[in-house]
Amino acid sequence: MATVDVTVMGAGIFGLTIAYVCASRGAAVRVIDPRGVGAGSSGGFVGALAPHTPERWDSKKNFQLESLLSAEKFWAGVDGISGSQSGYGRIGRLQPIDDDHTLMLARERIDQAKELWRGQAEWNVCSVDDFAGWVPPSKTGLVVYDTLAGRLNPAGALASLAGAVQKLSVEISPSGAQEGPVIWATGYEGLLELSQLLDKPAGNGVKGQATLFDYDAGSVPQLFVGGLHFVPHENGKLAVGSTSERYFDSPDQTDEQLDQMIERARVAMPILRDVQVVGRWAAVRPRAKSRAPILGPYPGREGQFLANGGFKIGFAMAPKIAHVMADLVLDGVDNIPDDFRVEASL
């Protein structure tokens, strides 16, 4: 690559989606990551694209909605160029309703979803009998069924992105010169570096552990039960996660906390009692102090930018974040919500 218009530091979900959109607009892009594609928290199993509840609406929820609604077209474009499969599917989500208070809230959200989700997705209250064979246990016999939730296979999505950007002549390298505007999408280490630079906490890392069951649930919605996501993937495996650990010794090693989570998953869904575990994963996810993504100019570094954070919602937010960052870096157009700016996380 003779000249580079944009350098992206980090080959996780934010870095690669930004590289893809920039390259799609004709920019020459270099991606630098010494550990390779998806080596950090993006390279997991779960891939739940879970929407926020349709209430107390704000810019963060609206941003995520627009990203989720654009996801099918975005990932179809990526897969079409790469020839690979991201595993994207808008499969919906089921959540148990265990008491009258939860039922009241669920019913209130039906009309709120009609308005806030713009008629493009639904939030329903349904009987467990409507989902024979794959439904979370529910004390009332009722479940929430939303049609906005989706899923990705994280490894497949990152492989498809990497293949697509390389076909668009993007260079992915463990090292190289930082030329042109530089976008830092370096995960929790990047948040720690930002905190040190500003001498105040901007964010930290939260370890997550997840597992993969050898269970083909078929074409069914994902489940959210007991704080765990159960995500059926197109490859015949069921991903379950994850833990949230503020304090840890080994950032990428699984341990007894995952064992306990697996047991919780089997209790929540007895159908998994005798199903074999075929994958164990651990990594540290970036959590901004505000819990929202951090986007925009890098403080004190002229010509450099940040795209970080997005704790638990990175894959859901990535398509729109990529377009917003490309608008800013390539065209000088600032469409970043105020809640996502660096100062909002301080």
Query: What's the pLDDT tens digit per position in 131-148?
Result: 988 999 999 999 999 999
Instruction: Report yes or no: 273 and 295 within 8 Å, Cβ to Cβ.
Output: no
Q: How many residues in the chain?
A: 346
Mean pLDDT in the chain?
95
Alpha-carbon distance 14 to 22, whole Å? 12
Which stretches does DSSP call E strand in the chain?
6-9, 29-32, 48-49, 93-97, 123-127, 142-146, 150-151, 171-173, 182-184, 203-213, 222-225, 228-232, 238-241, 277-288, 294-297, 304-308
Q: What is the pLDDT of residue 2?
A: 64
In a domain, 131, yes or no: no
Q: How many other CB atoms are found less than 10 A from the CB of residue 100?
A: 9
Q: What is the pLDDT of residue 23?
A: 98
pLDDT tens readout for residues 264-288? 999 999 999 999 999 999 999 999 9
In a domain, 113, yes or no: no
In a domain, 21, yes or no: yes
Element spanning 69, H or E: helix 59-82
Is the pLDDT at 1 greater than 60, yes or no? no
pLDDT tens readout for residues 237-252? 999 999 999 999 999 9
Share of the chain above pLDDT 70, in %: 99
Alpha-carbon distance 308 to 81, whole Å? 26
Under DSSP, is residue 297 helix (H, G, I), strand (E, B) or coil? strand
Report which of residues 223 and 344 the model is more confident about. Answer: 223
Q: What is the pLDDT of residue 139?
A: 96
Q: What is the pLDDT of residue 344?
A: 86
In a domain, 137, yes or no: no
In a domain, 305, yes or no: yes
pTM of the model: 0.96
In the β-sheet with 171-173, what is the strand arrangement from edge to edge?
171-173, 29-32, 6-9, 182-184, 304-308, 294-297
Task: Determine if residue 227 is left, alpha or beta; phi over 0 gives left, psi from -120 to 50 gives alpha, anything else beta.
Answer: left
What are the angstrom distances between the C-alpha of 201 and each of 145, 206, 291, 342?
38, 14, 13, 11
pLDDT tens readout for residues 323-340? 999 999 999 999 999 999
Instruction: Report yes or no: 164 and 18 within 8 Å, Cβ to Cβ.
Output: no
Q: At a CB cut-off of 8 Å and minimum separation 6, what does 135 contact?
A: 94, 128, 143, 223
pLDDT tens readout for residues 96-123? 999 999 999 999 999 999 999 999 999 9
In a domain, 62, yes or no: yes
Task: Determine if residue 307 is left, alpha or beta; phi over 0 gives left, psi from -120 to 50 gives alpha, anything else beta.
Answer: beta
User: 48: domain CATH number?
Assistant: 3.50.50.60
What mean pLDDT is predicted for residues 89-93?
Answer: 97
For residue 67, count CB atoms less than 10 angstroms from its CB and return exposed for 0-12, middle for 13-18, buried for 19 or more.
buried
In a domain, 116, yes or no: no
Report helix angle 154-167 to 59-82, nearest 10.
60
Number of domains observed in the structure of the chain = 1
Instruction: Report yes or no: 271 and 131 within 8 Å, Cβ to Cβ.
Output: no
Of 145, 165, 197, which Cα lies nearest the Cα of 10? 165
In a domain, 280, yes or no: no
Query: Domain limits at 193?
Result: 6-89+149-202+289-345
Under DSSP, is residue 7 helix (H, G, I), strand (E, B) or coil? strand
| Token couple for 46 | 């779960």
Instruction: Report yes or no: 45 and 239 within 8 Å, Cβ to Cβ.
Output: yes
Q: At a CB cut-off of 8 Å and minimum separation 6, what does 190 contact?
A: 10, 184, 286, 306, 308
Query: From the centroid of its chain, how far is CA 15?
Result: 13
